[in-house]
Structure 1
Amino acid sequence: MTCSPEALAASSTSAAIDAILAPLRHRPSLTVRRSMRRVTLTPKYGSDAVEVDVRYAWTGAPDAPTLIVQGGISADRDVVTLDRGAAPGWWQPLVGAGAAIDLNQWRVLSIDWLSPAELGTNAISSEDQADALAALLQSLNVPQAHAFIGSSYGAMVGLAFAARHPHGVDRLVLLAGAHRPHPLATAQRSVQRGIVRMGQASGQVNEALSLARQLAMTTYRGSTEFGKRFAGGPEFRDGRFHFPVEDYLEHAGRRFVEHFDADRFLALSESIDLHDIAPELVPVRSTLIGFPSDRLVPLSDLCELQSRLHGSATLEVVDSPYGHDAFLKEPEQLAPLLRGALN
């Protein structure tokens, strides 16, 4: 061995790197636990405590700190899929080994949203979902989640969680979600629910649910994207003119009907509009992420949220043509923000 200063420095650097990487090298293999736990909670719109089965997935290194990750009302517990042969999770580009939410460092916990039928109530609140997650953490012997990362409805539930269970989470990372719904967004969702109820009354549930989803898609995306993608002229077929955007919307409606139930849609859509959390009750540090093209959650609402939160809060603004769906469509821009917020 050459004892030159350069060799000693290289040896010292190599030893330091080995010391840093050793815990990762010796971590057990990534695991996925998809299971169910029965927990007890008292629904906001009920009078008695109920037992409810919470379906969850817990994915990552078994000895890693837990992150709660929740998405919009159509998202499920499959945030990420480790099986290469399976369909990808709804946030697959941002969650995985070496990804922004690195499963070598974190263990991601997510649930399927509860419904009023499971609670025995007529409505379900963001607080109910938050209480279910808190009870699940207790059942899994996790005293505190390192962070609650919520997008859209998940961000609303994250705020409810931190307000009701402030010791259960160290920090919030909230994308495209605020302390209350904007009245214009409530108006748009109200029309969607009216369409579905009319379909239920007339025996055309699938058609109505498809139309409601199509209308919702016009609120999820930004005007710029629609202008670029669907600027062409109409095509005459099947006895009428079809505009370029129609095929896209009809496809989105069909896909939604294939995996979503009308009653579940009505309940979770209504739950968004029932959401109302006082930011002053949230003491944990927060990172807010908003999109100027988002017409459902305008930046003005996030600015108000930031100013009223009891804990320290930063607001990150990400420019995107994708509107509310930017939290799904901008992994490259979101990755460094998520890494920074977690670390």
Structure 2
Amino acid sequence: MTHASIAPAVTHTCPVPGGVLYLNEIGNGPLVLVLGGISGDRDAITDTEDGWWQGLAEAVNPSKFKIITVDYAGGNGASEVAALPTTITEQAAYISTALQELDWLEFHAVVGGSYGGLVALELAQDKRLQFQRVAVIGAAHRPTAQAVMLRALQREFVRLGDAAGQPQRGAQLARALAMLSYRSADGMDQYYPNPKDAVAYIESRGLRTVERSLPRARQLFEIFGPALDDYRIEPYHIEQPTLLIGFDSDQLVPPSLLHEFHAALPDGRGCHILPSTYGHDGFIKNTADYAAVLASFLECSCN
């Protein structure tokens, strides 16, 4: 999809307590805050159409909306803070402060995927910013036991790497395990008929993350992981019309959990479970499959 008239993103540098957050603004129209996954940055949707979540532009069209994206505090982007956010609430507070600094107080919607879905829920219940509607993709009101176990093993890999004097290898293995948990068994079997190629794939993804920045990679496991494990929200606190999207092969946020969440929401506007060979990564890989549902939700009056 081409958006020829879209101007390049404007980057904002916003002071927050003990540091600075970087945000991008792209497009024209009502404000939509887009929050990506744990390792995402503010280049989710770009005018050059090479953003890491570019497929989302099929639904959150920069020709119709002014899209705001963020480099998370403690994440892989340029944002820098002295006190890393150890909870979802603290991450949301940094983002809320930055948005208020820019005088962006009323939003047409917030769209969050994975980790960003939890941040979206926290912002929605906080009430310092106003969101007319909330769309959550691959995230729910609580973690599952399996997700917590997987992240505990990731942290243990980091610790064992340190103990063995191989911190880079420990973080690489932790990321490899994370990648395994993001994908489905059927999908890996389909895309890698030779299982050795599948092993090489997750190893390479782990190495890429570590080579980008070992300290930042460690933070994903030691700071962001526990924040995901500890987060809980009472669904009745989310008063806005709320759309949930998930994937049948997601082992981190399974369909049963999303149905549980949707049933407890005051104003649930649908729980759409889509077939996917990508597991949890369906929120990035399957945008074409949920774009129409999300676009319709963003365009509805929601009265």
TM-score exceeds 0.5: yes
User: Partner residue of 2:131?
Assistant: 169
User: Partner residue of 1:47?
Assistant: none
Tell me the CA shift for residue 278 of structure 1: 1.1
Letter in 2 for 1:60: G
Alignment of 1:260-339 (within 5 A): 260=213, 261-265=216-220, 266-339=222-295
- 1:250 paired with 2:215, answer no
Aligned to 1:287, what secondary structure does the other structure show? strand
Deviation readout 1:308-336 (Å, 9 max, x if unpaired): 12233311111111110011111221211
> Which shifted more, 166-175 or 276-285?
166-175
CA distance in 1: counterparts of 2:81 and 2:128, whole angstroms: 26
CA distance in 2: counterparts of 1:323 and 1:178, whole angstroms: 15
Structure 1: 5+ residue runs without aligned partners? 1-27, 40-49, 234-242
User: Partner residue of 2:26?
Assistant: 59
Aligned to 2:106, what secondary structure does the other structure show? coil
Tell me the CA shift for residue 167 of structure 1: 5.2
- 1:32 paired with 2:9, answer yes
Aligned to 1:258, what secondary structure does the other structure show? helix
CA distance in 2: counterparts of 1:308 and 1:136, whole angstroms: 31
Aligned to 2:47, what secondary structure does the other structure show? coil
Aligned to 2:24, what secondary structure does the other structure show? strand
Aligned to 2:107, what secondary structure does the other structure show? coil
Structure 2: 5+ residue runs without aligned partners? none
User: Partner residue of 2:83?
Assistant: 120
Deviation readout 1:263-322 (Å, 9 max, x if unpaired): 321211221112111111111010000111000001111111111122333111111111
Letter in 1 for 2:100: Q
User: Partner residue of 1:190?
Assistant: 152
- 1:81 paired with 2:49, answer no
Tell me the CA shift for residue 35 of structure 1: 2.4
Letter in 1 for 2:233: I
Aligned to 1:77, what secondary structure does the other structure show? coil
CA distance in 2: counterparts of 1:278 and 1:339, whole angstroms: 27
Kept after mapping to 2: 8 A contact 1:166/1:283 = no
With over 3 angstroms needed to count, the CA separation of the structure-2 counterparts of 1:201 and 1:165, relative to structure 1, is: farther
> Which shifted more, 205-214 or 165-174?
165-174
Letter in 2 for 1:114: A
CA distance in 2: counterparts of 1:213 and 1:280, whole angstroms: 34
Letter in 2 for 1:180: R
RMSD: 2.0
Aligned to 1:101, what secondary structure does the other structure show? coil
Kept after mapping to 2: 8 A contact 1:70/1:151 = yes
CA distance in 1: counterparts of 2:95 and 2:83, whole angstroms: 18
Kept after mapping to 1: 8 A contact 2:6/2:47 = no
Aligned to 2:81, what secondary structure does the other structure show? helix
- What TM-score, normalized to structure 1? 0.79
CA distance in 1: counterparts of 2:166 and 2:282, whole angstroms: 32
Aligned to 1:76, what secondary structure does the other structure show? coil
Percent of aligned positions that are identical: 31
Letter in 2 for 1:258: E
Tell me the CA shift for residue 29 of structure 1: 5.3
Kept after mapping to 1: 8 A contact 2:248/2:273 = yes
CA distance in 2: counterparts of 1:213 and 1:258, whole angstroms: 12
CA distance in 2: counterparts of 1:176 and 1:110, whole angstroms: 18
Tell me the CA shift for residue 51 of structure 1: 4.0
Tell me the CA shift for residue 252 of structure 1: 1.1
Kept after mapping to 2: 8 A contact 1:126/1:156 = yes
Kept after mapping to 1: 8 A contact 2:6/2:26 = no
Aligned to 1:173, what secondary structure does the other structure show? strand
Kept after mapping to 1: 8 A contact 2:142/2:232 = yes
CA distance in 2: counterparts of 1:158 and 1:262, whole angstroms: 23
With over 3 angstroms needed to count, the CA separation of the structure-2 counterparts of 1:166 and 1:319, relative to structure 1, is: farther
Letter in 1 for 2:81: E
CA distance in 2: counterparts of 1:170 and 1:31, whole angstroms: 26
Aligned to 1:89, what secondary structure does the other structure show? coil
Tell me the CA shift for residue 176 of structure 1: 0.5
With over 3 angstroms needed to count, the CA separation of the structure-2 counterparts of 1:304 and 1:38, relative to structure 1, is: same
CA distance in 2: counterparts of 1:126 and 1:313, whole angstroms: 24
Kept after mapping to 2: 8 A contact 1:30/1:103 = no
Task: Tell me how many residue pairs correspond in the alignment.
Answer: 288
Structure with the greater relative contact order (CA < 8 A, sep ≥ 6): 1 or 2?
A: 2
Letter in 1 for 2:32: L
